[in-house]
A and B are shown apart, each in its own frame.
Chain A
Amino acid sequence: MNGFYEFQFYLFSLLAIASALLFVTRKNPVPAALWLVNVMFALAGLYVMLDAPFVGVIQVLVYAGAIMVVFVFVVMLLNLGRSGISDIRSLGSRLGAGAVGLALLANLLVVQRQRIPRVALAPEIDNVVEGVAASLFTDYLVAFELTSLVLLVAIIGAVLLAKKRVRL
């Protein structure tokens, strides 16, 4: 059981990383968006394997299903898929970015090793949804309400911003 679990874990991880790499290197925004969707699917799988089924589901529903769809919509709307000139920066920039990236990675790994203590795993919860709901609507109620406010503002803002100016 453990072996299979591990194999699956590594599979999903590899899928996520490979898709991310491919996403970053595509010239055309449409395939890039699709590769990102793939990343999200792989992550959803990882979430489920980490005993967060609720999060996994809403990842697919909200992130992959809604947010990425909006991205693809906008790409289509602006007809950006046809550009011939690549928007990737020069080699120098890429190498520099690579260096920064590697440095950052090294840092993060060291921090993870140093600062995150090895504690025992939390007891498994039967009904995760119930647990999340309980926490969300009691301890973090204010945050919850505020996020709904943020969503409202975002909706109004998006509508206003994207509106075509009406020439009178």
Chain B
Amino acid sequence: MIPTLLGVLILLPILGFLANGSIAFFGKRAEGDGATTARHPLVTLIGPGVILAAFGVAVALFLDMQRAPEQALHIVRYGQWMPVGNLVIDWSLQLDQLSILMVLVITGVGSLIHLFSIGYMRDDASYARYFAYLNLFVAFMLVLVLGASYPVLFVGWEGVGLASYLLIGFWFSDKANAEAGKKAFVVNRVGDFGFLVAMFLIWVTTQKLDFIGAHAALGAMAGTPVVLAIALFLFIGCAGKSAQLPLYIWLPDAMAGPTPVSALIHAATMVTAGVYLVARAAPIFSGAPEASLVITAVGALTALFAATIALRQWDIKKVLAYSTVSQLGYMFVGVGSGAYTAGVFHLVTHAFFKALLFLGAGSVIHAMHHAYHHTHRDEDPQDLRNMGGLAKYMPATAVAMTLATLAIAGIPPLAGFFSKDEILASVFARAHGSPLASASLLGIPGSTVLYGAYAVGVLTALLTAIYMTRMLLLAFYGSNRTGEAEQEMLHEAPTIMTAPVLVLGALTVVGGWLNLPALIPLGPVGLLEHWLEPVVGSSASRLAGAGHLDHRTETILVAVAITVAVVGIVIALLRYRKPIADKAHSPVDESVLARAYHVDGLVDAIIVRPISAFANIVLTRGVETGIDRAFSAGGSMLSRTAALVGSKLQDGDVGKYAWLLAAGALALLAALTLS
């Protein structure tokens, strides 16, 4: 039963991709303006349909697992992939508590986003191609979270990178979009290098690449330098895929793709693959406390760094992009400090409210775009300075966005509060008395790192509250800056787009119930913790050690968190109350934050230009001169020289011939005598 269901689960999006891809490839090309002929009813049926069906299958699998929790772990082998010597890699999928959770998130949030896309991409000429790529992405993402071994996971890993590239550069006729796609792919590659090295190390050390076998072997080697190396290289891979410092630079650029893509790939699912990997490889990371400290530190720094940039972004999607980077940092703080459940919990709640935020932004952009299109004004529909007071025109979206903003800021009892608070509490708890605290990172004691991470986390929470409220205020409240003529066209998005947003809103409200802390008795405690216990429990307790929070400390921490959130919101309310000018009348924001610390410029100058120059030299001097000339001209030069020498020899002078004859005969005889 389970093997078939698993197979069906993976097959559904693949079939969707093939079907939509065929329609995209072979179907009638839409006309120039692509107004109404673009949408193909079959695509609308298949595209979201397969994902909804996959969600249904996932629910069925989940219920099946619930019925018999002791036998929840299933490893299904679908065939042999690479038998090479004593390395045998199979196509195996592993169904356990962690992977089914990820599958539910992917297919659930994914199907909502697919439904949203029906409305958003209605007028796009490449409608079928869009759904084909989206299905492809879901297929690979499922392979990633369901893979039973590192190579299979890597197939999914690379596949989602490919899908991301295809979707970021979806409107590739604009060169900037294609460049953004390339950037994402190349930066990901850097991370993939780390992943591959880690895989090689795992193989060399344990001769196993499947999760169960490799983790058992590596768990026994905890504390050795090899495990530390593997953990660090795996983290490099995670940093690339999940946009941590310094490999985050592709995520803001990835906003060039359609907004539902940003919601699905760059908020809810693909970027969380790194967090999933750390949770999956928990036995490795828990056996390398220094690596875990590195992850915590990097996560904290990334969270703070991105939050500061988001304070001065004017493009609504860029604000959300940097917010995603920041929240991912939180997740890594969680899984880095051994609180795997907390990190995954934040992953789930973040999927809910970030997807909501992106989809809501999509509705807004959709409406703004229509408005400007109607009045033939060439203004930026994504700039916050051109928005304002949209709550009047889009009430449902505004309510949902407000809820999401409060959630991400960390206001109880919304989902974000519980997950963020749990991460911070876990870090604080482990800062005293755990193996992490006793370890040291480059001479800094672990407890310092963890307390520091906590402090940074709190500061970032403050900043998050500020910039998210700012975004909300500038977009939805206050006076409208779009223009008199456009206001007629501003209206709520069609139901197909608003409904998923509202569903996500509901999830944002109740999502916290997935893992209530013992402190706040609102319902069943720690559901997620219990669910994930068989997978990450032992690793988590290994790193937690004796770190434990007493009741009083925990209450103080919660109070701090809530206070910080409220303070942040108030600051933003006070700061952004005054009306501002629209984009056309505003000066160009040249501040360091608005320019994201000029990181892109630095990367270009330090890395891209030298490599380009070097490649140019290799190409012109090396290949063109060396190889091309050597082969084409060189060949002819050789013949010409030979011919010249030959013609000098054959000038008709018989005397010379006689000389050559004599010399030749002499040489032969000499060879004879001397041999």
Chain A residues, CB < 8 A from B666: 100, 103-104, 107
Minimum distance in angstroms from A7 CB to a CB of chain B? 32
Q: How far is the CA of A58 from the CA of B23 in the complex (A)?
A: 100
Interface contact A104-B669, CB-CB below 8 Å = yes
Q: Are A104 and B665 in contact (CB under 8 A)?
A: yes
Q: Which range contains the number of B residues in contact with the other chain? A: under 10
How far is A89 from B653 in the complex, measured between Cα atoms in Å? 13
Report the bound CA distance from A100 to B665 in whole Å: 10
Q: Is the CB of A111 within 8 A of B673?
A: yes
Closest to A104 in B: B666
Q: Which residue of A lies closest to B671 (CB)?
A: A107
Interface string of B636-675 (1 = CB under 8 A from A): 0000000000000000000100000011011001101100
Out of B655, B662, B663, B673, name the residue touching A114 (CB < 8 Å). B673
CB pair B655 A100 closer than 8 Å: no
Identify whether the interface residues of A are mostly helix, strand, loop, or mixed.
Answer: helix
Of the candidates B655, B662, B672, the one whose C-beta lies within 8 Å of that of A104 is B662
List 11 A-B residue pairs with CB atoms under 8 Å apart, sorted by A's residue number: A97-B662, A100-B662, A100-B663, A100-B666, A104-B662, A107-B669, A107-B673, A108-B669, A110-B673, A111-B672, A111-B673
Question: In the bound complex, what is the Cα–Cα distance between A111 and B670 (angstroms)?
Answer: 9
Q: Please name the 4 residue pairs, one residue from A and one from B, whose CB atoms are nearest each other, closest first.
A: A107-B669, A110-B673, A100-B662, A107-B673
A111 touches B663 (CB 8 A): no
Residue of A nearest to B673 (CB): A110
- The answer to whether A111 touches B662 (Cβ under 8 A) is no
Which residues of the other chain, B, contact A104 by a CB distance below 8 angstroms? 662, 665-666, 669
Q: Which B residues from 452 to 473 make CB contacts under 8 A with A?
A: none
Residues of A within 8 A of B663 (CB): 100
Residues of A within 8 A of B (CB): 89, 97, 100, 103-104, 107-108, 110-111, 114
- For residue A89, which residues in chain B have a CB less than 8 angstroms away from its CB? 655
Question: Which chain B residues lie closer than 8 Å to A107 at the CB level?
Answer: 666, 669-670, 672-673
Give 15 new A-B contacts, CB below 8 A, not counting A97-B662, A104-B665, A110-B673: A89-B655, A100-B662, A104-B662, A104-B666, A104-B669, A107-B666, A107-B669, A107-B670, A107-B672, A107-B673, A108-B669, A111-B669, A111-B672, A111-B673, A114-B673
Given the complex of chains A and B, what is the CA–CA distance between A153 and B665 in angstroms?
A: 29
Tell me the nearest residue of chain B to A96, going by C-beta: B659
B132 to chain A, nearest CB (A): 83
**Closest residue to B669 on the A side, CB-wise?**
A107
Min Cβ gap A82→B in Å is 23
A114 to B655, alpha carbons, bound, how many Å?
32
A107→B664 CA distance, assembly (Å): 13
B416 to chain A, nearest CB (A): 101
Q: How far is the CB of B112 from chain A (nearest CB, A)?
A: 98
CB distance from B355 to the nearest CB of A (A): 95
Instruction: Report how far A110 CA is from B674 CA in the complex, Å.
Output: 10
Report A-chain residues with C-beta under 8 Å of the C-beta of B665.
104
CB-CB under 8 A from B670, the residues of chain A are 107
A106, closest chain B residue (CB): B673
Q: Separation in Å of the A100 CB from the closest CB of chain B?
A: 5
Question: Contacts of B669 on A, CB cut-off 8 Å?
Answer: 104, 107-108, 111
Q: Which of B562-617 contact A (CB under 8 A)?
A: none
In the complex, which residues of chain B have a beta carbon less than 8 angstroms from the beta carbon of A97? 662
Residue numbers in A under 8 Å from B662 (CB-CB): 97, 100, 104
